[in-house]
Amino acid sequence: MTQDLHALARMLMELDDQMVACMKCGMCQAVCPVFAETMREADVARGKIALLENLAHEMIRDPQGVQEKLNLCLLCGSCAANCPSGVKVLDIFLKARVIVNTYLGLPPAKKAIFRGLLTKPALFNSLLDLASKFQGLFTKPASEVIGSSCARIQAPIIGERHFMPLAKKPLRKIVPSLSTRPGKSGYRVALFPGCVVDKIFPNVGQAALKVLQHHEVGVYLPAGQGCCGIPALSSGDKDSFDQLVLHNLELFEKEHFDYLLTPCATCSATIHEIWPLMSGDKKESLRDRIQAIASRTMDIGQFLVDVLRVAAPAAGTGVRVTYHDPCHLKKSLKVSEQPRALLRSNPRVEFVEMADADRCCGCGGSFNLQHYDLSKEIGTQKRNAIVAAKADVVATGCPACMLQIADMLSQHGDRVAVKHFIEIYAEAL
Amino acid sequence: MISSSLLAAFQTLLGKENVLDSEADRHSYAYDAAVLDPVVPELVLRPTTSEQLGKTVALCYENDLPITVRGAGTNLSGGTIPSKEKGVVILTNSLNKIVEINEQDLYAVVEPGVVTAKFAAEVAKRGLFYPPDPGSQAVSTLGGNVAENAGGLRGLKYGVTKDYVMGVNFWNTQGEYVKSGGRTVKCVTGLNISQLMVGSEGTLGVFDQIILKLVPPPVASKAMLAEFDNIDGASQTVAAIIANKIVPCTLELLDNATIKYVDDFTKAGLPRDAAAILLIEVDGGHAALVEDDAAKVLAICKQEGARRVVLAKDAAEKNKLWEARRNALPALARARPTTVLEDATVPRSQIPAMIRAINQIAAKYRLQIGTFGHAGDGNLHPTILTDRRDKEEFHRVEQAVDEIFDVALSLGGTLSGEHGIGLAKAKWLEKETTRATILYSRTIKKAVDPKYLLNPGKVIGG
């Protein structure tokens, strides 16, 4: 065992150069949503980095204890965005999760999901199609404004959640594939809708297509897209992540495009930042290919505002709309003004800011599944801010945030609709 | 090792969730923001009520467990690093209630775990002002601020934490409640124990409630930035401003090295050849008066040889002027892996001599040092950029730090303006004071803490 720990320590020492930059000032405590709830030092970036350092220096004997702490993190990047010494916290945590997971092994349930399902998009999709047909048997509608459901009978996975049901018809059934030429705009983009848009919010994908068509942007939407890989990677499963990257890379390399767009903040950040970050162990030629796609990947709102320069401000009245900044858009990609500009350009929208619009909603992907109570406490604060803003609609740029916010609002019986900003922009066209 | 029966006693007292004894939890309370080796505590305890806090202290004391009280753990001198033998950390972050903000009598009562910036914001909501603004205020706790006598950017005009402490109620080692000070402006009842508690770094008692003074806020402010070709010009400007009976609320200085690091980091087009930048802000209760002061300060800057002065016209411009100062630490911290942030302080007239000495020391020990800080009160932050993993270089850092303190003391200054003595500077204390000072302090400590269990080894060693 000691011999093994030595090996683990050696692997973690690869992160030493990045970890040593943490000067332990503790400023991450001000912004960490998990720490705000638990107030335990091991839950904030400084504490986690100290644990990893001590594990790397063989001062800690229980790697499992460190892994538990490492997993209690939304990977929202609030700490990194607020770090005075610019520590690349997400890089460290993602790589550490891979290292610790490689050492301790993947839990069987995750192994089954990632290796057996997620990496096989065709199988994954057909299974969910089947589930979409039967979901009504176990669930019932919860909120008509939000469109959420809750459990009909006691079901351990659903618990008390108010979740968005699987779409009757996923996006890939509505628009299986697309390859159009650019019109007046002169641009051609590839569209990566992402799993949640495809399976739960196909309307977001349709709105994105409508907007692109309206602005005469050529679209390449290949069939058979896989997950961006972040659920596997954040659980430390680099093999599944690598498979998904390669699968998508080969698919998108088939045609030419100027930008790869997604309406999902998490997918954008993953492809733009995490794909190259995790490609260090690949051959140079593959690294270059990954970089070529990553550097052209951006959020759809960013493309519309920064590249096409649409969205002239209109002093709108009517529906009160507020905006929640997804962490992966604002903190990872520094995109926060563009979605607001799109919302403000709709003449039927009265835009209002909520307090702490860039505070994490508490979803954090699988964090929500593993630590639902904590996720709910953090999400309730977001719900309170939305309600305090007296908004009719809360818009955001990430379908994962949409799921979490819908759950929180629906459980409180709030009549606030949850939409993607692209839907609201599309409505005005 | 702590016995299982004692552990059970703590669990009964505080609830299982507030007794942290796992390896991972303990390792995350082994350090603070000082560049020192971590010490892993045996146990971490988190009382959630005042009563629990008192009982926790008594139970630790009875069982000979050395106590280190911890707020946000932002200390820069190792004051919150636990003791080596059987060290116990008591967390205050669940004792975070603002008990009272009294708008008639201008005071507030707080628990020790209240975060400084949150408190200042609550006070501001009621149209009042709590001025102490240490750099870590977004996370630091008021208990920690009082225990360290924290300073900040507003020290010159508004004073530091000690100037706002009206009373401190605390638990002694027996778990008995000691009250000191009060809610009135005038209060001479008993020994002035409150001020003894200020800056005591957890060595004399465990704070339970703190009474803080509040003041009316300024209604107007005006900021300007002045560039100088030599550090003496900047220093003479500071002296001339004060000689003209103007006390700015902020008088911040960035030296040439810091200017270059900030410019590298922000690409904001700062004057890389300037010897120093002064960021000056005046404020007051009347807009016309502030305008007047700003005009006078502007004239003084030019008269003392500032090569360029920029006056902010509005809030947005003011914010822009502040950017260089705000980015000083982030820029320096990014340059090398380890950042050693010192706070040697000299009488303000000695700032040029101090900065010259720091630059000589940097050259002598082949180190990168950027200096910025509070020029109005002489509190400088020579910031040494290094890599603690490089043993040879870090040895030179230690020698440089020794020498910086020697120079500061020789110029009539002090070891620490605001970071505290803690573990990091305890060995130099005698140099600034006398042997008798230390023995006198230890006698006081021994009288109130005969077993030497309240944050032992900090400040006065022993």
Residues of A in contact with B46 (CB under 8 A): 39
Q: Is B22–A51 a contact, with Cβ atoms under 8 angstroms apart?
A: no
Q: How far apart are CA B180 and CA B10, in angstroms?
A: 28
What are the distances in angstroms from CA A108 to CA A104, A237, A369?
A: 12, 12, 16
For chains A and B, CB pairs below 8 A equal: 90
With a cut of 90, say whether residue A369 has pLDDT above it.
no
Q: How far apart are CA A64 and CA A8, in angstroms?
A: 12
Per-residue model confidence (pLDDT) at position A141: 80
**Run of H or E residues at A143:** strand A139-143
Q: Is A25–B33 a contact, with Cβ atoms under 8 angstroms apart?
A: yes
CB burial of B373-401 (b: ≥16 within 10 Å; e: otherwise) equals bbbbbbbbbbbbbbebeeeebbebbeebb
Per-residue model confidence (pLDDT) at position A139: 77
In sequence order, which residues have a C-beta less than 8 Å from that of residue B360 and are 6 or more positions away?
none
Interface probe with B: pick from A17, A27, A59, most Cβ of B within 10 Å: A27
Q: Is B24–A20 a contact, with Cβ atoms under 8 angstroms apart?
A: no
**Run of H or E residues at B224:** strand B220-228
Reported as a pLDDT band with limits 50, 70 and 90, residue B34 is: very high
CB burial of B249-277 (b: ≥16 within 10 Å; e: otherwise) equals bbbbbbbbbbbbbbbebeeeebbeebbbb
Beta pairing class for B206-213 and B107-110: antiparallel
A50 touches chain B (CB under 8 A): yes
Q: Is A51–B388 a contact, with Cβ atoms under 8 angstroms apart?
A: no
DSSP assignment of B375-403 equals: TTTTEEEEEEEE-TT-HHHHHHHHHHHHH
A67 touches chain B (CB under 8 A): no
Beta pairing class for A139-143 and A148-151: antiparallel
With a cut of 60, say whether residue A2 has pLDDT above it.
no
pTM as predicted? 0.92
**Run of H or E residues at B370:** strand B368-374
**Segments making up each domain of chain A, as ranges:** 2-104, 121-305, 309-427
A135 touches chain B (CB under 8 A): no
CA B358 to chain centre: 21
CATH class of the region B220-329: alpha beta
Per-residue model confidence (pLDDT) at position A154: 65
Q: Which of A118 and B378 is assigned the larger pLDDT?
A: B378
Exposed, middle or buried by CB within 10 Å (0-12, 13-18, 19+), for A93? Answer: buried
Phi-psi region of A28 (alpha: psi -120 to 50; beta: other; left: phi over 0): alpha
Reported as a pLDDT band with limits 50, 70 and 90, residue A157 is: low
Residues of A in contact with B136 (CB under 8 A): 25-27
Per-residue model confidence (pLDDT) at position A57: 92
Per-residue model confidence (pLDDT) at position B128: 98
pLDDT in tens, A44-92: 999 999 999 999 999 999 999 999 999 999 999 999 999 999 999 999 9
B25 touches chain A (CB under 8 A): yes
A40 touches chain B (CB under 8 A): yes
DSSP A163: B
Q: How far apart are CA B237 and CA B223, in angstroms?
A: 15
Reported as a pLDDT band with limits 50, 70 and 90, residue A158 is: confident
CATH, domain A309-427, list 1.20.120, 3.40.50, 3.40.1130, 2.60.40: 3.40.50
Residue of B nearest to A35 (CA): B93
A380 touches chain B (CB under 8 A): no
With a cut of 70, say whether residue A156 has pLDDT above it.
no
Helix B351-364 and helix B231-243, axial crossing angle in degrees, nearest 10:
160
In sequence order, which residues have a C-beta less than 8 Å from that of residue A326 and are 6 or more positions away?
A265, A266, A361, A396, A397, A398, A400, A401
With a cut of 80, say whether residue A134 has pLDDT above it.
no
Min distance A51 CA to chain B CA atoms (Å) = 6
Residues of A in contact with B383 (CB under 8 A): none
CB burial of A283-292 (b: ≥16 within 10 Å; e: otherwise) equals eeeeeebbee
At A204, list the tokens: 């977001």
Reported as a pLDDT band with limits 50, 70 and 90, residue B368 is: very high
Per-residue model confidence (pLDDT) at position A240: 94
At B182, list the tokens: 């009060």
**Run of H or E residues at B251:** strand B250-255
In sequence order, which residues have a C-beta less than 8 Å from that of residue B191 and are 6 or more positions away?
B180
Q: How far apart are CA B223 and CA B396, in angstroms?
A: 39
In sequence order, which residues have a C-beta less than 8 Å from that of residue B216 and are 6 or more positions away?
B127, B128, B129, B285
Q: How far apart are CA A101 and CA A66, in angstroms?
A: 11
Report the C-alpha dihedral over residues B357, B362, B364, B365, rounded to 10 degrees.
140
Q: Is A27–B138 a contact, with Cβ atoms under 8 angstroms apart?
A: yes
What are the distances in angstroms from CA A32 to CA A184, B304, B460?
A: 45, 46, 36
Reported as a pLDDT band with limits 50, 70 and 90, residue B401 is: very high
Residue of B nearest to A61 (CA): B23
Per-residue model confidence (pLDDT) at position A153: 67
Interface probe with A: pick from B16, B19, B21, B23, most Cβ of A within 10 Å: B23
With a cut of 90, say whether residue B79 has pLDDT above it.
yes
Reported as a pLDDT band with limits 50, 70 and 90, residue B462 is: confident
Residues of B in contact with A62 (CB under 8 A): 22-24
Residue range B98-213, CATH number: 3.30.465.10
With a cut of 60, say whether residue B187 has pLDDT above it.
yes
**Segments making up each domain of chain B, as ranges:** 4-91, 98-213, 220-329
Residues of A in contact with B329 (CB under 8 A): 84
Per-residue model confidence (pLDDT) at position A399: 95
Mean pLDDT of A92-114: 88
With a cut of 80, say whether residue A155 has pLDDT above it.
no
Residue range B4-91, CATH number: 3.30.43.10
CA B125 to chain centre: 25
Q: How many CB atoms lie within 10 A of CB B40?
A: 18
From B35, B73, B389, residue closest to A41, measured CB to CB: B73
pLDDT in tens, A209-239: 999 999 999 999 999 999 999 999 999 999 9
Q: Is A30–B139 a contact, with Cβ atoms under 8 angstroms apart?
A: yes
A42 touches chain B (CB under 8 A): yes
The CA angle A34-A37-A40, to the nearest 5 degrees, is 75
Per-residue model confidence (pLDDT) at position A149: 79
Residue of A nearest to B327 (CA): A84
pLDDT in tens, B92-147: 999 999 999 999 999 999 999 999 999 999 999 999 999 999 999 999 999 999 99
In contact, A261 and A303? CB cutoff 8 Å: yes
Q: Is A26–B73 a contact, with Cβ atoms under 8 angstroms apart?
A: yes
CA R_g for chain B: 23
Residue A336, CA atoms < 13 Å, CB-side half-sphere: 14
Q: How far apart are CA A57 and CA A51, in angstroms?
A: 10
Per the prediction, chain A carries an average pLDDT of 92
In contact, B253 and B183? CB cutoff 8 Å: no
Residues of B in contact with A25 (CB under 8 A): 33, 74, 136
Q: Where do runs of H (alpha helix) occur along B308-453?
A: 315-326, 328-335, 351-364, 391-410, 429-432, 435-448
Q: How far apart are CA B278 and CA B374, in angstroms?
A: 10
Reported as a pLDDT band with limits 50, 70 and 90, residue B38 is: very high
Q: Is A26–B136 a contact, with Cβ atoms under 8 angstroms apart?
A: yes
CATH class of the region A2-104: mainly alpha
Per-residue model confidence (pLDDT) at position A404: 95
**Percent of chain B's residues with pLDDT above 90:** 94
Interface probe with B: pick from A13, A18, A29, A58, most Cβ of B within 10 Å: A29
